[in-house]
């Protein structure tokens, strides 16, 4: 979790918040040994040995904490706007949808092409399409169905953007399957914001990876220390410095077949330093 999240957890409102606060305090002592999390999973109502989906745990944690201030660290607002092509009247579905996780599909909307990069996935998510024929939209001004343009865009962006790559999908013939496609992951990401019309710059600081298949597997996390430009791999109780074996000398984009969640922080929050993250055996 990020400093933006951690500074909002003072441990005062619930047993769950107290456990989180306690874990953060122990980690800050830099004792270079694992911190016990069993009480935290108990507060979340989870059995310790049961396989869980990390995206569901993310939702569960934020919803059980119940604080709007905490959710705002991660919450983006997405709205749909329909513009009538006849009278150019725009109708927006204010206040829009508030999303803690932004879903990135591996396929275009018509499933005719594959998404190969996070940038393409973001463009696919922020789509613009023409509504015609049977899909025409009813216009309140024209008082009839008219061809229109539908745009999905961000109207609010949070300090931390979390993307969920849709690796797990349901197939009527095969049930749930995992998609093992590789995807290109940029270190920096410019995310367009509708109002005001500008973009916010984000940088990658964490990747959560799922190793295995739909019936079971293991999660690891790669977390970047902003203080020394070093990535660390966290796997259960082990934290080790990590270098991407496929990373080019120019430190260009990363490719991954296992990344499941991606966390990007807005550049304006760079003042925080992960000074407490140290490797331990």
**126 is a contact residue toward Zn ion (CB under 5 A):** no
Contact between 122 and 188 under an 8 Å Cβ cutoff? The reply is no
**142 is a contact residue toward Zn ion (CB under 5 A):** yes
Residue with tokens 């509504």: 131
**273 is a contact residue toward Zn ion (CB under 5 A):** no
Residue with tokens 């430190």: 251
**What does the angle CA 161 – CA 166 – CA 172 come to, to the nearest 5 degrees?**
155
Residue with tokens 């932004």: 102
**84 is a contact residue toward Zn ion (CB under 5 A):** yes
HSE, CB side, 13 Å, CA atoms: give it for residue 69.
8
Which region among 69-77, 80-88, 159-167, 172-180 touches Zn ion (by CB under 5 A)? Answer: 80-88
Helix (H) or strand (E) holding 201: strand 198-213
Binding residues for Zn ion, rule CB under 5 A, total 6
Which region among 41-49, 134-142, 183-191, 229-237 touches Zn ion (by CB under 5 A)? Answer: 134-142
Radius of gyration of the chain (CA): 21
When the beta carbons of 86 and 273 are compared against Zn ion, the nearer one is 86
Shortest distance, position 88 Cβ to Zn ion, whole Å: 7
**138 is a contact residue toward Zn ion (CB under 5 A):** no
When the beta carbons of 15 and 87 are compared against Zn ion, the nearer one is 87
Instruction: Report the 10 Å Cβ neighbour count for 34.
Output: 13
> Using CB under 5 A, which residues numbered 94 to 113 contact Zn ion?
none
Could you tell me which residues are beta bridge partners of residue 264?
161, 204
Helix (H) or strand (E) holding 71: helix 68-71
When the beta carbons of 141 and 228 are compared against Zn ion, the nearer one is 141
**139 is a contact residue toward Zn ion (CB under 5 A):** yes
**87 is a contact residue toward Zn ion (CB under 5 A):** yes
Shortest distance, position 128 Cβ to Zn ion, whole Å: 18
When the beta carbons of 108 and 149 are compared against Zn ion, the nearer one is 149
Which region among 142-150, 206-214, 218-226, 267-275 touches Zn ion (by CB under 5 A)? Answer: 142-150
**144 is a contact residue toward Zn ion (CB under 5 A):** no
Shortest distance, position 93 Cβ to Zn ion, whole Å: 17
The pair of three-digit structure tokens given for residue 174, joined into one six-digit string: 């095969």
Whether the upstream peptide bond of residue 196 has omega within 30° of 0, thus cis, is yes
When the beta carbons of 87 and 228 are compared against Zn ion, the nearer one is 87
Strands 102-104 and 160-165: parallel
Shortest distance, position 90 Cβ to Zn ion, whole Å: 10
Shortest distance, position 97 Cβ to Zn ion, whole Å: 24
The pair of three-digit structure tokens given for residue 147, joined into one six-digit string: 């061809």
Helix (H) or strand (E) holding 119: helix 118-125
**Residues that bind Zn ion in the complex, under the rule CB under 5 A:** 84, 86-87, 139, 141-142
């Amino acid at each position: 979790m990020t400093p933006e999240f951690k500074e909002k957890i003072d441990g005062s409102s619930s047993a769950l918040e107290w456990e989180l606060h306690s874990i953060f305090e122990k980690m800050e002592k830099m004792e270079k040994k694992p911190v016990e999390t069993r009480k935290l999973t108990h507060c979340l109502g989870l059995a310790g040995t049961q396989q869980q989906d990390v995206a569901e745990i993310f939702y569960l944690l934020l919803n059980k904490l119940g604080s709007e201030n905490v959710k705002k660290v991660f919450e983006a607002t997405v709205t749909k706007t329909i513009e009538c092509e006849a009278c150019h009247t725009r109708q927006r579905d204010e206040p829009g949808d508030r999303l803690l996780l932004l879903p990135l599909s591996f396929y275009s909307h018509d499933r005719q092409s594959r998404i190969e990069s996070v940038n393409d996935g973001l463009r696919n998510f922020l789509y613009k399409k023409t509504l015609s024929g049977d899909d025409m939209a009813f216009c309140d001004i024209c008082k009839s169905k008219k061809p229109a343009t539908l745009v999905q865009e961000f109207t609010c962006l949070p300090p931390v953007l979390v993307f969920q790559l849709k690796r797990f999908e349901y197939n009527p013939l095969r049930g749930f399957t995992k998609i093992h496609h590789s995807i290109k992951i940029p270190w920096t990401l410019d995310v367009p914001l509708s109002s005001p019309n500008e973009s916010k710059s984000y940088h990658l600081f964490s990747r959560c990876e799922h190793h295995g298949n739909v019936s079971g597997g293991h999660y690891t996390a790669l977390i970047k220390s902003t203080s020394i430009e070093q990535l660390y791999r966290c796997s259960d109780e082990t934290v080790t410095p990590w270098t991407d074996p496929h990373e080019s000398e120019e430190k260009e984009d990363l490719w991954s077949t296992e990344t499941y969640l991606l966390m990007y922080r807005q550049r304006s929050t760079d003042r925080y330093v992960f000074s407490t993250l140290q490797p331990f055996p």
